[in-house]
Amino acid sequence: MVAIITLNILIALRLRHQKKLQKEMSDHKSKEKDKQQRQIDRMLLAATACFVVFVLPQIIFDYSEKFWDKGTSGSNFIRERARHVMVMTCSTLNIFNHAVNFILYVLVAQKFRAEIVRLFTCGRLSGIKKRNTTLTKT
Protein backbone atom coordinates (compact mmCIF):
# COMPACT_ATOMS: atom_id res chain seq x y z
CA MET A 1 0.00 0.00 0.00
CA VAL A 2 2.83 2.37 0.90
CA ALA A 3 4.55 1.53 -2.38
CA ILE A 4 1.40 2.28 -4.37
CA ILE A 5 0.86 5.62 -2.65
CA THR A 6 4.53 6.53 -3.05
CA LEU A 7 4.60 5.58 -6.73
CA ASN A 8 1.41 7.55 -7.43
CA ILE A 9 2.91 10.61 -5.74
CA LEU A 10 6.03 10.20 -7.88
CA ILE A 11 3.87 9.94 -11.00
CA ALA A 12 1.99 13.11 -10.06
CA LEU A 13 5.26 14.96 -9.42
CA ARG A 14 6.67 13.74 -12.73
CA LEU A 15 3.52 14.89 -14.57
CA ARG A 16 3.82 18.31 -12.97
CA HIS A 17 7.50 18.52 -13.97
CA GLN A 18 6.67 17.50 -17.55
CA LYS A 19 3.92 20.09 -17.66
CA LYS A 20 6.40 22.82 -16.67
CA LEU A 21 8.86 21.67 -19.32
CA GLN A 22 6.16 21.58 -21.96
CA LYS A 23 5.01 25.05 -21.00
CA GLU A 24 8.57 26.38 -21.29
CA MET A 25 8.96 24.82 -24.75
CA SER A 26 5.77 26.30 -26.17
CA ASP A 27 4.87 29.92 -25.62
CA HIS A 28 1.26 29.61 -26.68
CA LYS A 29 -0.07 26.44 -25.15
CA SER A 30 -3.70 25.88 -26.02
CA LYS A 31 -6.40 25.96 -23.37
CA GLU A 32 -7.68 22.60 -24.58
CA LYS A 33 -4.39 20.89 -23.70
CA ASP A 34 -4.46 22.55 -20.28
CA LYS A 35 -7.97 21.23 -19.76
CA GLN A 36 -6.96 17.72 -20.81
CA GLN A 37 -3.96 17.77 -18.47
CA ARG A 38 -6.13 18.89 -15.55
CA GLN A 39 -8.56 16.06 -16.33
CA ILE A 40 -5.72 13.53 -16.28
CA ASP A 41 -4.41 14.93 -12.99
CA ARG A 42 -7.87 14.82 -11.40
CA MET A 43 -8.42 11.29 -12.65
CA LEU A 44 -5.10 10.10 -11.22
CA LEU A 45 -5.75 11.66 -7.83
CA ALA A 46 -9.34 10.46 -7.65
CA ALA A 47 -8.45 6.90 -8.64
CA THR A 48 -5.65 6.80 -6.07
CA ALA A 49 -7.86 8.21 -3.32
CA CYS A 50 -10.63 5.71 -4.11
CA PHE A 51 -8.16 2.85 -4.13
CA VAL A 52 -6.85 3.83 -0.69
CA VAL A 53 -10.35 4.29 0.77
CA PHE A 54 -11.72 1.02 -0.58
CA VAL A 55 -8.67 -1.23 -0.13
CA LEU A 56 -7.26 0.06 3.17
CA PRO A 57 -9.93 -1.68 5.31
CA GLN A 58 -8.96 -5.02 3.76
CA ILE A 59 -5.29 -4.43 4.54
CA ILE A 60 -6.04 -3.37 8.10
CA PHE A 61 -8.29 -6.40 8.59
CA ASP A 62 -5.69 -8.79 7.17
CA TYR A 63 -3.01 -7.50 9.54
CA SER A 64 -5.28 -7.28 12.57
CA GLU A 65 -6.55 -10.81 12.02
CA LYS A 66 -3.03 -12.12 12.64
CA PHE A 67 -3.17 -10.61 16.12
CA TRP A 68 -6.73 -11.68 16.81
CA ASP A 69 -6.44 -13.59 20.06
CA LYS A 70 -8.47 -16.76 19.70
CA GLY A 71 -8.07 -17.54 23.36
CA THR A 72 -10.14 -14.61 24.65
CA SER A 73 -13.33 -15.17 26.54
CA GLY A 74 -16.58 -14.97 24.65
CA SER A 75 -18.51 -17.00 22.21
CA ASN A 76 -16.59 -18.53 19.34
CA PHE A 77 -19.76 -18.18 17.27
CA ILE A 78 -19.84 -14.39 17.77
CA ARG A 79 -16.17 -14.08 16.83
CA GLU A 80 -16.68 -16.10 13.66
CA ARG A 81 -19.78 -14.08 12.69
CA ALA A 82 -17.87 -10.82 13.23
CA ARG A 83 -15.04 -12.15 11.08
CA HIS A 84 -17.51 -13.18 8.38
CA VAL A 85 -19.10 -9.70 8.39
CA MET A 86 -15.66 -8.08 8.05
CA VAL A 87 -14.67 -10.39 5.19
CA MET A 88 -17.92 -9.65 3.33
CA THR A 89 -17.59 -5.90 3.96
CA CYS A 90 -14.00 -5.84 2.68
CA SER A 91 -14.96 -7.89 -0.38
CA THR A 92 -17.80 -5.50 -1.15
CA LEU A 93 -15.47 -2.50 -0.82
CA ASN A 94 -13.03 -4.14 -3.24
CA ILE A 95 -15.85 -4.56 -5.77
CA PHE A 96 -16.88 -0.93 -5.24
CA ASN A 97 -13.32 0.10 -6.06
CA HIS A 98 -13.71 -1.31 -9.57
CA ALA A 99 -17.18 0.19 -10.04
CA VAL A 100 -16.03 3.61 -8.88
CA ASN A 101 -13.14 3.54 -11.37
CA PHE A 102 -15.65 3.07 -14.20
CA ILE A 103 -17.77 5.95 -12.87
CA LEU A 104 -14.68 8.16 -12.61
CA TYR A 105 -13.85 7.47 -16.24
CA VAL A 106 -17.39 8.38 -17.26
CA LEU A 107 -17.33 11.60 -15.24
CA VAL A 108 -13.87 12.82 -16.19
CA ALA A 109 -12.92 11.39 -19.59
CA GLN A 110 -14.91 13.12 -22.31
CA LYS A 111 -13.87 10.73 -25.10
CA PHE A 112 -14.70 7.69 -22.96
CA ARG A 113 -18.12 9.18 -22.18
CA ALA A 114 -18.81 9.79 -25.88
CA GLU A 115 -17.85 6.21 -26.74
CA ILE A 116 -20.13 4.83 -24.02
CA VAL A 117 -23.04 6.88 -25.36
CA ARG A 118 -22.27 5.73 -28.89
CA LEU A 119 -22.05 2.11 -27.73
CA PHE A 120 -25.38 2.11 -25.91
CA THR A 121 -27.24 4.04 -28.61
CA CYS A 122 -25.61 2.20 -31.52
CA GLY A 123 -24.52 5.60 -32.83
CA ARG A 124 -28.11 6.72 -33.47
CA LEU A 125 -28.06 9.89 -31.35
CA SER A 126 -27.54 13.08 -33.27
CA GLY A 127 -24.37 14.92 -32.40
CA ILE A 128 -22.41 11.73 -32.01
CA LYS A 129 -19.78 11.39 -34.69
CA LYS A 130 -19.98 8.16 -36.57
CA ARG A 131 -16.80 6.36 -37.44
CA ASN A 132 -15.81 6.27 -41.06
CA THR A 133 -15.61 2.61 -41.86
CA THR A 134 -14.79 1.48 -45.33
CA LEU A 135 -14.38 -2.00 -46.61
CA THR A 136 -11.60 -2.69 -49.02
CA LYS A 137 -11.31 -5.71 -51.23
CA THR A 138 -8.09 -7.63 -51.08
Q: Answer yes or no: are the C-beta atoms of 76 and 137 closer than 8 Å.
A: no
Residue 29 to residues 12, 23, 24, 109, Cα–Cα distance (Å): 20, 7, 9, 21
pLDDT tens-digit readout, 71-106 = 555 677 787 888 889 999 999 999 998 888 888 888
pLDDT of residue 34: 73
pTM comes to: 0.58
List Cβ neighbours of 52 (8 Å cut-off, separation of 6 or more): 1, 5
What does 112-136 look like in DSSP terms, one character per residue? HHHHHHHHHHTT-STTSPPP-----
Give the 3-state secondary structure percentages of the chain, helix then strand then coil, rounded to 5.
75, 0, 25
